[in-house]
């Protein structure tokens, strides 16, 4: 009887050992399948809208994972000059360092990651049940995988890709908006500089008038009231010069803020307000309408909304 019980214990121990090895084998193959399914993915599609003609010869802040055209950023000065700033330098600095453009670039990268994730198969589910059978524990492993039918995965990829393309168009719109605002602010600084020059000239003339009138009053050639009027004009000229200086300081700070600087490093800007480019003919302006990202994005917008409708339509994916 003791030999029989001992033999039964040995057999049960051998069964438990086999079950343990089988569980290890099952777990190994389950994790292997899990890894192979989770890693299967198509290479990412990095198709971005091409830069519009406006400012296309200037570098723009983009991550190293994004495609770009035009000159390399190293071909331009990426530091603010300490003396004279040109319009081209201001535009290059803004496109490379503008905080808003940086945020739009991050949005493109996020949507590119979402498009890459959409190309992956749904994650499999690995489950385990443990049951006490009295003399030991029995473990059951389950591995399940969702199989998408009817082109649902392709529809999901299409939606994610179009969302990424829309972010690219929004980025391009913001790039042109930055170019426009920097150009306008640059003109404001240039105009404020000229106002300073004119205010200083008027101040010197007012001082000269006040000096001459004061001498004539002392000589008894004119009434003292003329001296009072000359001094009032001199005071007005000084106030105007002070206001012009404040306006110039504010404009310089607004321009420097375009590339994220709180304190302007440049002393002045270089330009000529009297030199205006010729207005293009109407035909050329009409042709450029198709290059406006605000208009060009609508084709992508329509496709994206239709793709979302198709993805949410359950009838389309029934087999």
3-class SS string, the chain: CHHHHHHHHHHHHHHHHHHHHHHHHHHHHHHHHHHHHHHCCCCCCCCCCCCCCCCCCCCCCCCCCCCCCCCCHHHCCCCCCCCEECHHHHHHHHHHHCHHHHHHHHHHHHHHHHHHHHCCCCCCEEEEEEEECCCCEEEEEEEECCCCCCCHHHHHHHHHHHHHHHHHHHHHHHHHHHHHHHHHHHHHHHHHHHHHHHHHHHHHHHHHHHHHHHHHHHCCCCCHHHHHHHHHHHHHHHHHHHHHHHHHHHHHHHHHHCCCCCCCCCCEECCCCCCCCCCCCHHHHHHHHHHCHHHHHHHHHHHHHHHHHHHHCHHHHCC
pLDDT of residue 251: 94
Total length of the chain? 319
In a domain, 13, yes or no: no
In a domain, 57, yes or no: yes
The CATH number of the domain holding residue 216 is 1.20.1600.10
Host domain of residue 123: 41-272+281-317
The answer to whether the beta carbons of residues 52 and 172 sit under 8 Å apart is: yes
pLDDT of residue 205: 94
In a domain, 12, yes or no: no
Count of other CB atoms within 10 angstroms of residue 241: 19
In a domain, 10, yes or no: no
Q: Exposed/middle/buried for 178, CB within 10 Å: 0-12, 13-18, 19+?
A: buried
Provide the percentage of residues in the chain whose pLDDT is more than 90.
20
In a domain, 20, yes or no: no
Provide the percentage of residues in the chain whose pLDDT is more than 70.
73
State how far the Cα of 255 lies from the Cα of 261, in Å rounded to an integer. Answer: 9
Count of other CB atoms within 10 angstroms of residue 214: 16
In a domain, 26, yes or no: no
Count of other CB atoms within 10 angstroms of residue 20: 12
Q: Residue 185: which residues within 8 A CB-CB, separation 6 or more?
A: 251, 254, 255, 258
Count the domains in the chain: 1
- pLDDT digit of tens for each residue in the chain (319 aa)? 444 444 444 454 455 445 444 544 444 444 444 444 344 444 444 445 555 556 666 666 554 444 444 444 444 556 788 889 999 899 989 888 888 887 877 777 788 888 888 877 777 888 888 887 777 788 888 888 777 776 777 888 888 888 888 888 888 888 888 899 999 999 999 999 999 999 999 999 999 999 999 998 888 888 889 889 999 999 999 999 999 999 999 999 999 999 988 889 898 999 888 777 788 888 888 877 777 788 878 888 888 888 888 888 766 666 5
In a domain, 17, yes or no: no
The tokens describing 15, both together, are 């069964």
pLDDT of residue 236: 93
Our measurement of the distance from residue 170's CA atom to the centroid of its chain's CA atoms, rounded to an integer in Å, reads: 9
What's this model's pTM, rounded to 2 decimal places? Answer: 0.67
In a domain, 259, yes or no: yes
Return the axis-axis angle of helices 293-312 and 152-218, rounded to nearest 10°. 150
């Amino acid at each position: 009887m003791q030999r029989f019980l001992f033999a039964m214990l040995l057999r049960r121990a051998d069964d438990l050992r086999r079950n343990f090895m089988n569980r290890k084998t099952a777990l190994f193959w389950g994790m292997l399948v899990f890894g192979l399914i989770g890693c299967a993915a198509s290479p990412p599609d990095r198709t971005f809208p091409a830069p519009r003609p406006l400012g296309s010869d200037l570098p723009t802040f983009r991550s190293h994972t994004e495609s770009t055209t035009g000159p390399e950023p190293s071909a331009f000065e990426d530091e603010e000059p300490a003396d004279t700033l040109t319009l081209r330098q201001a535009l290059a600095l803004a496109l490379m360092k503008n905080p808003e453009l940086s945020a739009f670039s991050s949005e493109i990268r996020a949507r590119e990651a979402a498009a890459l994730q959409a190309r992956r198969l749904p994650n499999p589910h690995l489950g385990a049940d443990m049951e006490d059978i009295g003399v030991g524990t029995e473990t059951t492993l389950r591995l399940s995988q969702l199989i998408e039918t009817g082109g649902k995965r392709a529809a999901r990829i299409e939606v994610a890709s179009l969302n990424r393309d829309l972010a690219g168009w929004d980025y391009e719109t913001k790039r042109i908006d930055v170019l426009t605002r920097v150009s306008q602010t640059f003109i404001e600084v240039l105009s404020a500089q000229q106002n300073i020059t004119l205010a200083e000239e008027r101040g010197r003339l007012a001082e000269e008038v006040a000096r001459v009138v004061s001498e004539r009053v002392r000589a008894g050639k004119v009434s003292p009231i003329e001296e009072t009027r000359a001094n009032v004009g001199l005071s007005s000229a000084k106030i105007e010069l002070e206001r012009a200086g404040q306006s110039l300081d504010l404009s310089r700070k607004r321009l420097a803020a375009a590339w994220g600087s709180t304190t302007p490093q440049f002393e002045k800007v270089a330009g000529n307000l009297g030199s205006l480019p010729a207005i293009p003919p109407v035909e050329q302006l009409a042709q450029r309408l198709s290059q406006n990202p605000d208009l060009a994005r609508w084709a992508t917008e329509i496709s994206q909304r239709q793709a979302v409708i198709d993805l949410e339509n359950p009838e389309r994916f029934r087999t």
